[in-house]
């Protein structure tokens, strides 16, 4: 939706835990997993599969083919704000 309806609008996403959990002790491990996540790329066979579903427009699949998460755009915080 954002890519097609609001292509020049910056967006953000936030994970909110519905059940209170203190994850501060896991912060280093979570950060390590975020670093690993930032290294992931869609593989051609994965993009082919997504294309075969018929849900996604070709320009979105083209976008996914070059998409990477930027570590600098991810923030871990110790609070619930």
CA dist., res. 61 & res. 31, Å (int): 28
The pair of structure tokens assigned to 63 is 């976008």
pLDDT of residue 80: 53
Query: Which residues of the chain are modeled with pLDDT < 70?
Result: 79-81
Residue of 74, 36, 35, 42 whose CA lies nearest to 60: 42
pLDDT of residue 58: 94
pLDDT of residue 38: 94
pLDDT digits (tens, 9 = 90+) for 43-57: 999 999 999 999 999
pLDDT of residue 12: 84
DSSP per position, 1-32: -HHHH-TT---------SS----GGGHHHHHH
CA dist., res. 26 & res. 28, Å (int): 6
């Amino acid at each position: 939706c954002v890519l097609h309806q609001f292509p020049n609008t910056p967006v953000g996403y936030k994970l909110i835990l519905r059940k209170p959990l203190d994850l501060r002790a896991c912060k280093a491990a979570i950060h390590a997993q975020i670093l690993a996540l930032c290294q992931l790329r869609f593989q051609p066979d994965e993009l082919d599969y997504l294309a075969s579903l018929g849900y996604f427009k070709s320009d979105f699949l083209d976008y996914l083919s070059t998409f990477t998460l930027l570590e600098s755009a991810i923030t871990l915080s110790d609070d619930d704000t």
